[in-house]
Chain A
Amino acid sequence: MVSTFHGLETAKRGMTTQQLALYTTGHNIANANTPGYTRQRVSFATAEPFPGAGLNRPQIPGQLGTGVQAGTIERIRESFLDVQYRSENTKLGYYSSLSSALAKMEDIMNEPSNSGLQNIMSQFWSSLQNMADHPENLGARQVVAAKGQMVAETFNYYYNSLDGIKKDLGSEMDVTVKNINTIVSQIDELNKQIASVEPHGMLPNDLYDKRDQLVDQLSSLVNVKVRPIKPIQYGQPLPTAVGLYQIELVQNDEAQLLTVDGTTGASQQNELSITAENGVKAPPLKGNVQSVQVGSVTLDNFSGKLKGLIESYGYVDGNGKVKGHYPEMMEKLNKLAYAFASEFNHIHQQGYGLDKTDPAGEFFDLGGSTDYDETINYAQVIKVHDEIIKDPTNIAAAKNGGDNSGDNEIAFELADLKSKDFSNYSSLPDDMSGTFDFYYAAMIGELGVAAQSANTNMENVQVLVDSVEYNRQSVSGVSLDEELTNMITFQHAYNASARMITVIDEMLDKIINGMGVVGR
């Protein structure tokens, strides 16, 4: 026999379950615009039918349904898309930091324009040619001194500005490292909160969302990979429970930013840190990057914004050489400033000032050094010699001493220097070929190519990130139309269950008040 009140229980179950679904729908609608939110669903299942199998089961024709029951409230999310998103996001972080660092460099070098070194050098060349036309003219000489100063100041400006940006990149790197460690400790905190819910057979969906969002943020800074771990001593978690996140770095040696013990679930955070070339640990970062460690493991392969910053800021490679966009550009400027200024001086000292009998001195002042010394920042120290500025008649235009104000041979030689092959220079730093003009054009060309490829890659990766994000939103995003449709569905189901109760009520009324009153 089936209980008289059986239907009431079924209808009540229907009402509470539909109500649950309706409230979840409300939660979804409310969070439609919450970043990182994943839509949630109540999974419906039929309740245990009546009667169960057994010897003393009631003899009725078959199993009778007992209504609906809510399974779990779970997120609708595809973890594969998360993996894809994070790996693309890491690349995006890398290329966009590279692209912005190189764009700043382009802003400083400011080519092609009228204030770039190319134009200043052209003006200097013209002033030397003018001096060759009018070697006896003090005005023409003053212009040479002034344009020479402009050349020196352009080198100074380039160097100092690049140096300033490099320092900024250094502090950005300190901030990024701090950011990475903070995010990891936040993930650790969320892990702990999740660990207090999951063992009780519940799903902390909103905590999951927060944690995934933090991992997304982390993935743009450094290339991390997530390994969810459900420890052995973990109560009664649901099969769909995610577990605790262990944060690992994608690289050869095992390096973990956050280690989770597989048995107890105890966690340990390993801080990411940077060591500069002088062996001093950052922050603050001083000097080029020697190595990056996580705990005691030195990283051999990393990506993300951190890598972009390091490649821009400068690092020491395996052979002890300093690499990186900024230090390399600064070194090239140093070499160029040294090579040009020292050869200019060399020619200048072979000539004579206006009607002078003693050979001329130096034109450019390189701080007194003669041989190329890579510890000296020539582009920073270069200036026009005080004697030249004080008295422009000290500029050598003449090849021969004495009264020969019209002698302009040295002036032409000086002008020719710009297009003179480096191989004919009297002293030259290593690895330089071509002429001043070619070398500088190549510097600008290389910068252009590097910046262009960073920009293109950034745009391409951005498209990929957008498309993965699109897919992710397609799966997990809240659709208001859909929620409203569900709302109506659940509302109607709720009402219908309520109507069931009315029906049963009428049935009971019949039994209680209408039966057994025959002939009354």
Chain B
Amino acid sequence: MAKIREALKLNLTKVVNDMRVTQSMLSNNMLRNLSNNYNKMGKLQDQLTTQKRITRPSDDPVVAMLGLGYRDSLNKVQQYSRNISEATNWLDSTDDAISQGVKVLQRIRELTVQASNGTYEEGQRGAIAVEVDQLKKQLETIAQTQVGGKYIFNGENTNKAPAAGNFSNGDIELEIFDGIKLNVNTKGSELFKSVFNTLDSLKSKLEDKTASDTDISGFLDTLDSEIDHFLKIQADVGAKQNRVDMMKDRLSSQETIATEIMSKNEDIEIEKVITELITQESVQRAALSVGARIIQPSLVDFLR
């Protein structure tokens, strides 16, 4: 009995709360719902065409703020890749130039051995002296190696060719990662430290008719140490090349990661958005068809 009364009471309150609803309320409601739906569809459409979850900071301030940082780090990684390829240019060219220099010195050493074995005549020594002079000039050309218009052995004075045996100083450093700088130039003054003087005195000994075989063979040790000096510096360059290669690998994985983080932060999941769009579309259709049914008939249609 109490239950029934309770139910009746409930029913009564429901009747009391039942609102008076008019046609214009229904049509206004429908209009509002339709426009809300269009709004949502517009947002989804924006997302699909831009492939971005947000188009303005207020869509999601956190995503927007993080996005600024991620874009920046992606840009950095890309720039450091460019810096690294420039560093590689320097190091590869230096490496190549040193190899050529070593070849020249080895040729000079061969000539020196020939000139010192006693069977050569004076005239032949003179010819060797001419060749050594030519090779020295070749070495001077190597000292003036240019990469992209820069003289790589002339310290920071990259715009001017170094005069023979007279190099400018200064280290050139490139930034290969945030705050990590790499010295990319090999200073001519270090590489060609004494080689031109040695060659000059070798040449004058070869031209000296009184010079003995031992006088000339005495140069072999000096030449060997010059070659060693070249090789040692080349090893330094090689070590730097390794470092740059490693950095390059690291950067390329960094680029992938940075792109991915950025994408995760602000890109849409297409399948999700399309699903939402389809859902929204069917909601829209339903709203339209319901609207067409609700709005149309009124009592007027049934009164005669």
A residues near B, CB below 8 A? 32-33, 102-103, 106-107, 109, 111-112, 118-119, 122-123, 125-126, 129-130, 132-137, 355, 398, 400, 403-409, 412, 415, 437, 440-442, 444-445, 447-449, 451-452, 454-455, 466, 470-471, 473-475, 477-482, 484-485, 488
CB pair A474 B25 closer than 8 Å: yes
Q: Are A484 and B303 in contact (CB under 8 A)?
A: yes
User: In the complex, A404 Cα to B158 Cα: how many Å?
Assistant: 7
User: Are B61's CB and A445's CB within 8 A?
Assistant: yes
Q: Give the complex CA separation of A107 and B157 in angstroms.
A: 48
Q: Which of B57, B58, B82, B158 contacts A136 (CB 8 A)?
A: B158
Please tell me if the beta carbons of B25 and A407 are within 8 angstroms of each other in the complex.
no
27 contacts between A and B (CB under 8 A): A32-B23, A109-B57, A122-B75, A125-B79, A126-B78, A129-B82, A133-B86, A137-B149, A355-B159, A408-B173, A441-B68, A442-B65, A445-B61, A445-B62, A447-B58, A451-B57, A470-B25, A473-B25, A474-B20, A477-B22, A477-B24, A477-B25, A479-B22, A480-B298, A480-B300, A481-B299, A482-B20
Q: Are A111 and B155 in contact (CB under 8 A)?
A: no
Q: How many A-B residue pairs have CB under 8 A?
A: 181
Nearest chain B CB to A128 CB, angstrom units: 9
Docked CA distance A156–B76 (Å):
25
The 8 Å CB contact of B159, one of A125, A136, A444, is A136
Given A132-B174, A403-B157: A445 and B23 within 8 A (CB)?
no
When distances are taken between beta carbons in the complex, the residues of chain B under 8 Å from A482 are: 20, 22
Asked whether B168 lies within 8 Å of A404 as measured between CB atoms, the reply is yes
Choice from B24, B86, B148, B157 contacting A473 with Cβ under 8 Å: B24
17 other A-B residue contacts (CB within 8 Å) besides A126-B78, A137-B149, A441-B69:
A102-B58, A103-B58, A106-B58, A132-B175, A134-B148, A134-B150, A405-B156, A405-B157, A406-B156, A412-B181, A451-B58, A452-B60, A471-B19, A473-B22, A482-B20, A484-B300, A485-B299
B65: contacting residue among A126, A137, A445, A479, CB under 8 A? A445
6 A-B pairs with least C-beta separation:
A448-B57, A448-B61, A451-B58, A404-B156, A406-B158, A479-B22
Q: Are B56 and A451 in contact (CB under 8 A)?
A: yes
**Taking the nearest CB of chain A, how far is it from the CB of B67, in angstroms?**
4
Q: Which residues of B contact A (CB under 8 A)?
A: 19-25, 28-29, 32, 52, 54, 56-62, 64-65, 67-69, 71-72, 75-76, 78-80, 82-83, 86, 148-150, 155-160, 168, 170, 172-175, 181, 185, 266, 298-300, 303
Across the interface, name the chain A residue whose C-beta is closest to B61: A448
A480 proximity list for chain B (CB < 8 A): 22-23, 298-300
Find chain B residues with CB under 8 A from A403 CB. Answer: 157, 159-160, 168
Q: What is the bound-complex CA distance between A150 and B49, given in angstroms?
A: 28
Known contacts A403-B168, A406-B185, A448-B57, A122 near B72 by CB under 8 Å: yes
Asked if residues B300 and A134 are in contact (CB atoms below 8 Å), the reply is: no
Residues of B within 8 A of A130 (CB): 79, 82
* B170: chain A residues within 8 A (beta carbon): 400, 404, 406-407
Known: A405-B156, A437-B72. A129 touches B79 (CB 8 A): yes
Contact of B150 among A125, A406, A454 (CB under 8 A): A406
CB distance from B76 to the nearest CB of A (A): 8
A452 to B54, CA, bound (A): 12
Interchain CB contact under 8 A, A134 and B86: yes
Complex CA distance for A389 and B218, rounded to whole angstroms: 60
Known contacts A412-B181, A448-B58, A449-B61: does B22 contact A405 (CB below 8 Å)?
A: no
> A29: nearest residue on chain B (CB-CB)?
B300
Most buried by A among B59, B68, B157, B266: B68
Q: In the assembled complex, which residues on chain A have CB atoms less than 8 Å from the CB atom of B299?
A: 480-481, 484-485
B residues less than 8 Å from A132 (CB atoms): 83, 174-175
Q: Collect the chain B residues with CB atoms within 8 Å of residue A126's CB.
A: 75, 78-79, 82
Q: Which residues on the B side are within 8 Å of A123 (C-beta)?
A: 75
CB distance from B221 to the nearest CB of A (A): 35
A residues in contact with B149, CB < 8 Å: 136-137
A33–B78 Cα gap in the complex (Å)? 63
B22's contact among A408, A447, A454, A474, by CB below 8 Å, is which?
A: A474
Cα A171 to Cα B149 with chains together (Å): 60
**A355 CA / B61 CA spacing, docked (Å):** 47
Instruction: Please measure, in the bound complex, the distance between the C-alpha atom of A136 and the C-alpha atom of B28, giving whole angstroms.
Output: 70
Supposing A403-B159, A477-B24 touch, asked if A408 and B300 sit within 8 A by C-beta, the answer is no
* Beta-carbon contact of B79 and A32 below 8 Å: no
User: Are A111 and B57 in touch, CB under 8 angstroms?
Assistant: yes
- Which of chain B's residues have a CB closer than 8 A to the CB of A32? 23-24
When distances are taken between beta carbons in the complex, the residues of chain B under 8 Å from A478 are 22, 24
Smallest CB separation, B153 vs chain A (Å): 11
Q: Is the pair A106, B56 in contact by a Cβ cutoff of 8 Å?
A: yes
| Cβ–Cβ < 8 Å partners of B173 in chain A | 408-409, 412
What is the CA–CA distance of A481 and B297 in the complex, to the nearest angstrom?
10
**Complex contact B185–A112 (CB within 8 A):** no
Name the CB-closest residue of B to A406: B158
Q: Which residue of B lies closest to A475 (CB)?
A: B20
- The CA-CA distance from A482 to B21 in the complex, in Å, is 10
A485 CA / B22 CA spacing, docked (Å): 13
User: B299 → chain A, closest Cβ, in Å?
Assistant: 4
| Residues of chain B with a CB closer than 8 A to A449's CB | 58, 61
Report whether B298 and A133 are in contact in the complex, using a CB–CB cutoff of 8 Å: no
Contact A479:B300 (CB < 8 A) given known A122-B75, A448-B58: no
Q: Which residues of A contact B76 (CB under 8 A)?
A: 125
Q: Is the CB of A447 within 8 A of B300?
A: no
- The closest CB in chain B to the CB of A408 belongs to B172
Contact call A488/B175, Cβ cutoff below 8 A: no
Residue of A nearest to B70 (CB): A112
Cβ A129 vs Cβ B175 within 8 A: yes
Interface centre among B25, B58, B155 (most CB of A within 10 A): B58
- Smallest CB–CB gap between B79 and chain A, Å? 5
Asked whether B83 lies within 8 Å of A474 as measured between CB atoms, the reply is: no
B64 to chain A: which residues have CB within 8 Å?
111-112, 444-445, 448
Q: Per a CB cutoff under 8 Å, which of B24, B155, B156, B266 touches A112?
A: B266
Complex contacts, B21 vs chain A, CB 8 Å? 474, 479
Nearest CB of chain A from residue B143's CB, rounded to whole Å: 16
Chain B hits for A442, CB < 8 A:
65
Which of B61, B72, B185 sits near A452, CB closer than 8 Å?
B61
Contact A473 B28 (CB under 8 A): yes
CA distance A408 to B184 in the complex (A): 12
**Residues in A whose Cβ lies below 8 Å from that of B150:** 134, 136, 405-406
Q: By the criterion CB–CB under 8 Å, are B24 and A33 in contact?
A: yes
A444 touches B68 (CB 8 A): yes
Complex contacts, B72 vs chain A, CB 8 Å: 118, 122, 437
- From A33, A398, A466, A488, B32 is in contact (CB under 8 Å) with A466
A452 to B175, CA, bound (A): 40
| Measured CA separation A198–B75 after assembly (Å) | 75
Asked if residues B69 and A437 are in contact (CB atoms below 8 Å), the reply is yes
* Residues of the A chain whose Cβ atoms lie less than 8 Å from the Cβ of B160: 403, 405
Whole-angstrom distance from the CB of A15 to the nearest CB of chain B?
22
Cross-chain contact A398 with B156 (CB below 8 angstroms): yes
Chain B, residue nearest A456 (CB): B58
A75 shortest CB reach to chain B, Å: 15
Q: What is the CA–CA distance of A133 and B83 in the complex, to the nearest angstrom?
A: 6
Given A404-B170, A406-B185: A441 in contact with B65 (beta carbons within 8 A): yes
Check if A444 sits within 8 Å of B79, measured CB to CB: no
